[in-house]
Amino acid sequence: MELLVKLEQVSMRFGSKPILDKVNLSVYKRQSLAVIGPNGSGKSTLLRLVAGLSSPTEGKVRYFGNPKPVIGWVPDRFPKLPFNAFEYLMHMGQIRGMDKALLRRTIPGLLQRARLENAGRTWIRNFSKGMLQKLAIVQAVLKNPDLLIMDEPLSGLDGESENDLLEMFLQLKAQGVTLLFACHEAILWEKLADRTLRIHQTRIEPNSSKDELSSVVCIIVRQIGFGELEGWSGRPGVMEVAEGESGIELKVDAGYSDTLLRELLDRGGSIVTISRESGGDRP
Ligand SMILES: Nc1ncnc2c1ncn2[C@@H]1O[C@H](COP(=O)(O)OP(=O)(O)OP(=O)(O)O)[C@@H](O)[C@H]1O
């Protein structure tokens, strides 16, 4: 698993009010991540930080890959704009540097996947809430994002729209798009999330037993040089290799941990700790 975005010791305050306090979060490629928590707990704030739409008061947001991952953003409310859907999508695509001819070819297929194929020439101000939400998602996936971030994507929708959207999300997930979303609906995180995090009193905590059984194992090893292990980051089952204070830190898939541990020992390594990473990956 490859890292896409990492929040390191990130804090966010509005005035003197702390919303997030020294949180760490790793977003891995192809892993769907749900963020839950009560109203006002900081879900949107966290998503905006990951999307790079706001900057933290303290700490770092790091993006991985070259080029930097493409991020699609689905806001919690979509404005009723004075355009028809097709015009709007053409416009959004061009703002993002996409070619007009490519957009003309791409948009009909995307509208069809969202079951909006008959609404391309309809004014957005006449769209229902479900249609608006579908359009918000279509605009966010125009440029084939690596990471799609959605703030409350099912909020206030009827059952039929919910099902359509859920189907769209599952399709995107199957195509390899990483999903990060804030939600209140259990159906969304149960069906879609590989990991569910809860924001509780400025901290990120794992939510469910799914997370307690996190498939990420963190191994800290000494007596092997970083240079010797640096190249391991491309190996199957190895997600991350970093130099830490107590030794070299490896994040690995639990399914590979036994084999990798054996190899580390064979190379003369001394294991400092082995731990299951929690959903919120606080140190
Ligand atoms: N730009 C801002 N300026 C000042 N305060 C803000 C700003 N944005 C958010 N807040 C405050 O930060 C807190 C967290 O807001 P946020 O929108 O992240 O919560 P949320 O968990 O997404 O809530 P909801 O479930 O209601 O959408 C709230 O108290 C909110 O009023």
The pLDDT assigned to 276 comes to 66
Give, using CA atoms, the residue closest to atom 17 of ligand 1. Answer: 44
Q: Is the pTM of this model over 0.80?
A: no
192 CA from centroid of ligand 1 (Å): 24
- Residue of 13, 14, 47, 49 to test ligand 1 pocket, by largest number of atoms within 8 Å of CB: 14
Amino acid 179: pLDDT: 96
Task: Give me the mean pLDDT over the 131-140 stretch.
Answer: 94
CA of 35 to the centre of ligand 1 (A): 14
* Interhelix angle 129-141/159-174, nearest 10 degrees: 10
Kindly tell me if the per-residue pLDDT of 74 is higher than 90: yes
Ranking 104-108, 109-113, 144-148, 274-278 by mean pLDDT, the lowest is 274-278
Separation of CA 136 and ligand 1 centre (Å): 21
Return the minimum-mean-pLDDT range out of 37-41, 162-166, 257-261: 257-261
Going from the C-alpha of 226 to that of each of 27, 38, 231, 244, the distances in angstroms are 23, 42, 9, 10
Q: What is the pLDDT of residue 209?
A: 44
pLDDT value for 34 = 93
Per-residue pLDDT tens over the stretch 175-234: 889 999 999 888 888 788 888 899 999 999 887 544 444 577 788 999 999 999 988 987
Ligand 1 touching residue 42 (CB < 6 A): yes
Q: 40 C-alpha to center of ligand 1: Å? A: 5
**CA of 234 relative to ligand 1 center, distance in Å:** 38
For ligand 1, what atom is nearest to the CA of residue 182?
22
With a cut of 0.85, is the ipTM above it? yes
Angle at 158 (CA atoms; ends 170, 141), nearest 5 degrees: 35
Lowest mean pLDDT among 147-156, 219-228, 238-247, 273-282: 273-282
**C-beta of 39 in contact with ligand 1 (< 6 A):** yes
* Residue 213: predicted pLDDT: 44
- For residue 145, whether the previous peptide bond is cis, meaning omega lies within 30 degrees of 0, is no
Average pLDDT rounded to a whole number, residues 144-161: 91
Mean local confidence (pLDDT), 86-113: 95
Taking the CB of residue 171, how many other CB atoms lie within 10 A of it? 11
The structure tokens 């990798």 sit at 260
